[in-house]
C-alpha cells in the first residue's frame, strides 16, 4: 500500500512539474526572438508596399515598434484578411495587424490589445452619381466590394447589399470596380477610404460626403486567453502612447492623429450583430 501511495505521489509531482514548465505562446516567442504578424500588404495607409517595395503602413509600423519594445525581431506573413484570424487561432502567427476592429463577437474567440486607432465607417461611391446612395438604406440591392468576413461587409449585408468578395486584392482593384460600375460601393474605414481615394484621382470615385456611421476601435489580434502576450503588448502600446510615438506614426500615415478618439458625429447602427 505504501509503495502504491509513493508511486501515486511521485506521478502527481511529475504531472504538476510538467504543467508548471509548459511554455506559453509568449515564452515560445521570446525563445525564438521573433514576433510573427499577419498582415495584407495591400491596404493603403495601413499595410502596403511603398515605392521602394518595402512593407509599411500604420498597422505595420505599430507592430514593428511593439516588437522592438519587446526586444524582438518581427516577421510579417502576407495573407488575405479572411485568412488572418484562422492563422491566429491555429498558431500559425502570433498576431494579426490589419486594421481589425474590436467587436463583441470577435472578443468571444480572440484576445485584443488595447485600441491603438479610433475611427468610424463610411463608403466609397461614384462621384458622378453617388452610386445612387444617399442614406444607408439605399445600400439595399447594391453591390459592395469587400472581404467575405470583414465588419464592413457585414454592415453592407445588414442593409441588403450583395457583397462581391476579393482575395488579397489591392485597393486599386476595389476602387476601379466602383469607378467602372462593376460594383457600386465599398464600405470601409474612414482613414483607409481617405487615402485610397486620394491615390487614384483619375477614378470616378469619392468618399461619401454625408454618411458617417459605426464608430470603431482597432487593435492587434491574438489567440484567445494569451494573457501574458496580451500584457506585454499592452505595456508596449501604453509606452508608445505616453511618449507620443503612437501619435507620430498615425500622423505620418493618416495626416491626422487616428490614435485618439474621433470627434466626428457618427451614427450608431442598431441591430448589427458583430
Per-residue pLDDT of 160-217, as tens digits, reads 999 999 878 888 999 999 999 999 999 999 999 998 999 999 999 999 999 999 999 9
Q: How far apart are CA 130 and CA 124, in angstroms?
A: 9
> How many angstroms separate the CA atoms of 32 and 145, rounded?
39
Q: Which pTM was predicted? A: 0.85
pLDDT at site 20: 42
**Mean pLDDT for back-to-back runs of 10 residues, the chain (274 residues):** 47 45 86 97 94 97 98 97 95 97 94 98 98 98 92 95 88 95 97 92 98 97 96 98 98 96 93 85
Distance (Å, whole) CA 161 – CA 157: 5
pLDDT, position 86: 97
pLDDT of 34: 98
Domains of the chain: 10-117+218-254 (3.40.190.10), 119-215 (3.40.190.10)
**pLDDT of the residue at 13:** 46
Amino acid at each position: 500500500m505504501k509503495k502504491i501511495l509513493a508511486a501515486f505521489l511521485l506521478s502527481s509531482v511529475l504531472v504538476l512539474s510538467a504543467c508548471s514548465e509548459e511554455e506559453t505562446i509568449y515564452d515560445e516567442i521570446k525563445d525564438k526572438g521573433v514576433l510573427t504578424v499577419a498582415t495584407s500588404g495591400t491596404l493603403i495607409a495601413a499595410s502596403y508596399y511603398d515605392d521602394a517595395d518595402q512593407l509599411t503602413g500604420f498597422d505595420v509600423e505599430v507592430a514593428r515598434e511593439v516588437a522592438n519594445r519587446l526586444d524582438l525581431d518581427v516577421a510579417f506573413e502576407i495573407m488575405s484578411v479572411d485568412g488572418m484570424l484562422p492563422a491566429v487561432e491555429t498558431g500559425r502567427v502570433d498576431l494579426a495587424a490589419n486594421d481589425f476592429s474590436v467587436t463583441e463577437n470577435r472578443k468571444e474567440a480572440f484576445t485584443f490589445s488595447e485600441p491603438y486607432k479610433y475611427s468610424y465607417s463610411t463608403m466609397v461611391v461614384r462621384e458622378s452619381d453617388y452610386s445612387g446612395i444617399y442614406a444607408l438604406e439605399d445600400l439595399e440591392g447594391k453591390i459592395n466590394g469587400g472581404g467575405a468576413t470583414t465588419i464592413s461587409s457585414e454592415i453592407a449585408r445588414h442593409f441588403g447589399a450583395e457583397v462581391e468578395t476579393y482575395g488579397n486584392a489591392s485597393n486599386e482593384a476595389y476602387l476601379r470596380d466602383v469607378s467602372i460600375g462593376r460594383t457600386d460601393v465599398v464600405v470601409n474605414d474612414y482613414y483607409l477610404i481617405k487615402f485610397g481615394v486620394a491615390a487614384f484621382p483619375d477614378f470616378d470615385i469619392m468618399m461619401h460626403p454625408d454618411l458617417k456611421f459605426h464608430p470603431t476601435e482597432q487593435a492587434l489580434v491574438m489567440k484567445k486567453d494569451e494573457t501574458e502576450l496580451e500584457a506585454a503588448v499592452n505595456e508596449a502600446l501604453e509606452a508608445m502612447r505616453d511618449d507620443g510615438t503612437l501619435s507620430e506614426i498615425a500622423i505620418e500615415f493618416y495626416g491626422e492623429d487616428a490614435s485618439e478618439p474621433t470627434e466626428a458625429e457618427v451614427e450608431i447602427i442598431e441591430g448589427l450583430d458583430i
